[in-house]
Structure 1
Amino acid sequence: MTGTRVIRTALPAEAEIIADLHLRARSTYYPDGVPQADFDWGEAWRESIARPDGQVLCAVEQGRIVGIASFRVPEGAPADTVKLFQFHVDPDHWRAGIGTALHAACTEQWRADGRRTAVLDVHADNRRAQAFYARQGWRPDPAHPPAADDHHLFLRFDVPARE
């Protein structure tokens, strides 16, 4: 229900909930199981949420986190470039507009922060995400063409100027 959807900054206490959503979403495109499934994703998300140079947004519906996005300026990148490191929607809530709303919130934040370009890498087998990003205006990053042995595609997004 979009009437009760809120997109806000994630809280440190929500790291385990976010980690669970992250793993459930990633498991949909790793047929042999999620790499690093034994990794402490809760701690990784706590660190992402606490980073002063990054941001984690979450989409909340009826009090439940149903989408997450993590981004920051990557090391060595121009100050007007941001990298979308994680972007996941709870698989039980796919095709409900959550990803589109969350992406719009990211874009608005990037614009407010003076970012002109966003980059990301997406798993080559994650066709659903690739189609989603294409609908949002992402395209292959000409600075990072796919390598034959790489399992990721590198995409680029031109952050639209304020109208």
Structure 2
Amino acid sequence: MIRYATPQDLDTVAALHREARATYYRGHIPDADFEGPAELARSRQGWAAAIDRGNAVLVAERDGEVAGVAAFRPVDGVMTLTQLHVAPARRRQGMGTELHTACVAAWREAGATSVRLEVFEHNERARAFYTRHGWVPDPDEPKSGNHLVLRLAVTAP
């Protein structure tokens, strides 16, 4: 089941985010940059703000537990997918695709015609996922630091 996150989901979402990030950042950037106390506090605060907006965070629930999360919002006038994570133990079960499909529906409803995201350049699994779902390199800004910038054209169903 895909639903909007509630404040009661905050701790679970923050923990899932931490666990997912460790799978692709570890060995590429210092651990403190993704799981140090200051970063974990910043991340939790960001998730709390996103959830408080009410329609910016979707969760995939399986067996009564949050097993995936996606967040999006306009950034400088451009709809942006800021996060999409599935719990590592739940990957390859279709939740990422379900979350992505729900995001596309929300973007259409919001009138977005193009969506942007940044994906860590060493995260080959995520890069392949986004390619399968129609994301392409942003021709105007293909890279931002150690992240690739991708775009998705949102078309009518």
State TM-score, norm by structure 2: 0.90
Contact 2:72 2:80 in 1 (8 A): yes
CA displacement 1:127-149 (0-9 Å, x = unmatched)? 100000000000000110236xx
- Percent identity over the alignment is 40
CA distance, structure 1, for counterparts of residue 110 and residue 32 of structure 2: 33
Q: Could you list the runs of 5+ residues in structure 1 that have no partner in the other structure?
A: 1-5
CA distance, structure 1, for counterparts of residue 63 and residue 140 of structure 2: 41
> What does residue 64 of structure 2 align with?
63
Contact 2:3 2:58 in 1 (8 A): yes
* Residues 48-127 of structure 1 mapped to structure 2, 5 A cutoff: 48-51=50-53, 55-75=56-76, 77=77, 81-127=78-124
CA distance, structure 1, for counterparts of residue 107 and residue 151 of structure 2: 14
> What does residue 141 of structure 1 align with?
138
Contact 1:122 1:153 in 2 (8 A): yes
> What does residue 3 of structure 1 align with?
none
Contact 2:21 2:34 in 1 (8 A): no
Q: CA RMSD in A?
A: 1.4
Contact 2:22 2:34 in 1 (8 A): no
CA distance, structure 1, for counterparts of residue 133 and residue 108 of structure 2: 15
CA displacement 1:71-116 (0-9 Å, x = unmatched)? 01112x2xxx310001100000111001011100000111111111
How many correspondences in the alignment? 150
**Larger fraction in helix:** 2
Q: Could you list the runs of 5+ residues in structure 2 that have no partner in the other structure?
A: none
SS in 1 for 2:143: coil
CA distance, structure 2, for counterparts of residue 26 and residue 34 of structure 1: 12
